Amino acid sequence: MKIGMPLTKFLLEEQRHYPGSTGNFTGLFSDLAVAAKIISREVNKAGLINILGEAGRTNVQGEEVQKLDAYANSTIIKTMEHGGHLSGMASEECEGVIDIPDHYPRGHYLLMFDPLDGSSNIDVNISVGTIFSIIRKTTEGETTEKDFLRPGAEQVSAGYIIYGSSTMLVYTTGHGVHGFTLDPSVGEFLLSHEDIRTAEKGNIYSINEGNTKNWSGGALKYVEEIKKDGLSARYVGSLVADFHRNLLKGGVFLYPADKKNPKGKLRLLYEANPLAFIVEQAGGAASTGLERILDVKPKELHQRTPLIIGSQADVKKAERFFRAETPALSN
Ligand code: AHM
Ligand code: MG
């Protein structure tokens, strides 16, 4: 029985299954867990902002207060850059590639992340999350944007941290999906959800129905159909929270391309790819509506994509509607 096992011990046990392993990945992951704990602590203090100071102002100690998404971004960069495991990083919050400063050692991994997804929800005490994706650098020499533009199928690991009623870290390295809950009293992530499997078919659909007027025929007909099937609507507006609920309960999340966002809203490298890797490892599926997310060849760091993700049967059904649609985004 592994339930209750600390993340660091779990990672070391996993590492033993790979005799040639250098421990580099385990080291990288442990650094990420540290960043997650620091961000979690700060997110939990968000309600105290009026006492401690607002972003852009100084707090009672006279320190400049950062916005939480900027804070999460710099925390990950600072925690990860000196570990010696990375050749570079890319963040939803930064325009170009984040270099590793010359005075730090470099490794062979590349980290992509959305530091605080759904951050507009913080002010109202709703769950937000950090999403990450790790790939290997396959070229020699300087790290360039091109090194990051690999299909999601090449990910070595992906995961997210959800800052909710408790903080949880959920990840995969391609051998199932595992969830760890942060025990604040000991400051450790403890295994709480071993080998998560998502339902083949769910009873929940998650989509921003306020966008109906902008939808294409495929989205309109699909949503009409699943309402007839009696699915329940659940939409938090924090991708990590919507995804996490559907992963555990079964369901489908959709952010399709629409007239306002003709390429979709969510980001391929920081949001869609990592969650697609996780959902597939849990037995689910992720699609643009036309193709498997993990097969999409990225062309730019901040590329957007339509996303349909969740229980296998629900995603396949949605795909049938999107594939059947006629040039829907015209007019
Ligand atoms: P963000 O990266 O700016 O926080 O935006 C991403 C968020 C997701 O968390 C969420 O699924 C989506 O945007 C909600 O969008 P909308 O408000 O258009 O429904
Ligand atoms: Mg985001």
Same domain for 151 and 185: yes
Extract the tokens encoding 312.
């296998």
239 close to ligand 1 (CB < 6 Angstrom): yes
Single residue among 173, 193, 213 that ends a domain in this structure: 193
Of 39, 251, 250, 275, the residue nearest 177 (C-alpha): 275
Range of the domain at 31: 7-193
Nearest CA to ligand 1 atom 19: 208
Best mutation site among 239, 271, 309 for ligand 1 pocket (most ligand atoms within 8 Å of CB):
239
Residue 326: predicted pLDDT: 56
Q: Is 119 in the pocket of ligand 1 (CB under 6 A)?
A: yes
Determine the atom of ligand 1 nearest the C-alpha atom of 270.
Answer: 2
Distance from C-alpha of 175 to C-alpha of 278, rounded to nearest angstrom: 10
CA distances, 310 to each of 2, 172, 276, 307, 313 (Å): 26, 16, 9, 10, 9
- Position 328 scores a pLDDT of 45
Q: What pLDDT sits at residue 49?
A: 60
User: Which residue type occupies 154?
Assistant: E
User: What whole-number distance in Å separates Cα of residue 235 and Cα of residue 230?
Assistant: 16
How far apart, in whole angstroms, are the C-alpha atoms of residue 267 and residue 263?
A: 10
The answer to whether residue 198 sits within a structural domain is no
Spatial neighbors of 107 by CB under 8 A, at least 6 apart, are 24, 28, 83, 84, 85, 86, 87
Mark which of 174, 193, 212 sits at the end of a domain: 193
- Is 176 found in the same domain as 294? no
Q: Please name the amino acid found at residue 309.
A: I
Structure confidence at residue 292 (pLDDT) = 98
Is the CB of 117 within 6 Å of ligand 1? yes
CA 25 from centroid of its chain's CA atoms: 19
Within this chain, do residues 181 and 310 fall inside the same structural domain, yes or no?
A: no
DSSP 8-state code for residue 71: H
Ligand 1, atom 2: nearest CA belongs to which residue? 117
- The count of structural domains within the chain is 2
**Residue 80 CB-density burial (10 A; 0-12 exposed, 13-18 middle, 19+ buried):** buried
**Do the beta carbons of residue 21 and residue 173 sit within 8 Å?**
no
What's the CATH code of the domain at 219? 3.40.190.80
Distance 238 CA to ligand 1 centre (A): 6
The ranges of the chain with pLDDT < 50 are 53, 328-331
Looking at all shown ligands, the one closest to residue 239's CA atom is: 1
Computed over every residue of the chain, the mean pLDDT equals 92
Ligand in closest contact with the CA of 207: 1
Q: Which ligand is nearest to the CA of 264?
A: 1
pLDDT in the model for residue 47: 67
| 5 in Cβ contact with 190 (< 8 Å) | yes
| Residue 95 shares a structural domain with residue 162 | yes
% of the chain surpassing 70 pLDDT:
92
- pTM score > 0.75 for this model? yes
Please state, as a whole number, how many other Cβ atoms lie within 10 Å of the Cβ of residue 94: 15
Q: Which two tokens stand for residue 264?
A: 């979709």
Tell whether 167 is covered by a domain. Answer: yes
SS3 state of residue 250: coil
Q: How many Cα atoms are found within 13 Å in the side-chain-facing hemisphere of 198?
A: 33
Boundary (domain end) residue, out of 137, 159, 193: 193
Q: How far apart are CA 327 and CA 276, in angstroms?
A: 26
Say whether both 47 and 172 belong to one domain: yes
pLDDT at 16: 82
Going from the Cα of 314 to the center of ligand 2, the distance in angstroms, rounded, reads 23
Give residue-wise pLDDT tens across range 252-295.
999 999 999 999 999 999 999 999 999 999 999 999 999 999 99
Is any atom of ligand 1 closer than 6 Å to the C-beta of 238?
yes
Q: Measured in angstroms, how far is the CA atom of residue 201 from the centroid of ligand 2?
A: 26
Same-domain pairing of 169 and 126: yes
Q: Is residue 331 part of a domain?
A: no
Tokens of 246: 């559907």
Considering the domain architecture, whether residues 147 and 294 belong to the same structural domain is answered as no
In angstroms, the Cα distances linking 82 to 21, 74, 246, 260 are 20, 13, 36, 41
Contacts for 189 with CB less than 8 Å, ≥ 6 apart:
6, 7, 33, 36, 37, 169, 180, 181, 182, 183
Query: Are residues 136 and 29 both part of a single domain?
Result: yes
The answer to whether residue 1 sits within a structural domain is no
Q: How far apart are CA 242 and CA 232, in angstroms?
A: 13
Tell me how far CA of residue 317 lies from CA of 38, 285, 326, in angstroms.
Answer: 40, 11, 17
Question: To test the ligand 1 pocket, which listed residue (68, 117, 126, 254) has its Cβ within 8 A of the most ligand atoms?
Answer: 117
CB-CB contact of 143 with 99 (8 Å): yes
14 & 138 share domain: yes
Mutation choice for ligand 1 from 238, 270, 275, CB with most ligand atoms inside 8 A: 238
Ligand 1: does its nearest atom lie under 6 Å from the Cβ of 314? no
> Are both 188 and 215 inside the same structural domain?
no
Q: Give dist(CA 56, CA 314) in Å, integer.
A: 44
Coil, helix or strand for 103?
A: coil
- From the CA of 1, how far away is ligand 2's center (Å)? 35
Nearest ligand 1 atom to alpha carbon 129: 9
The per-residue pLDDT for 50 is: 53
Q: What pairs with residue 167 in β-bridges?
A: 163
Q: How far is the CA of 118 from the centre of ligand 1 (A)?
A: 6
Query: Which residue, by CA, sits nearest to atom 8 of ligand 1?
Result: 239
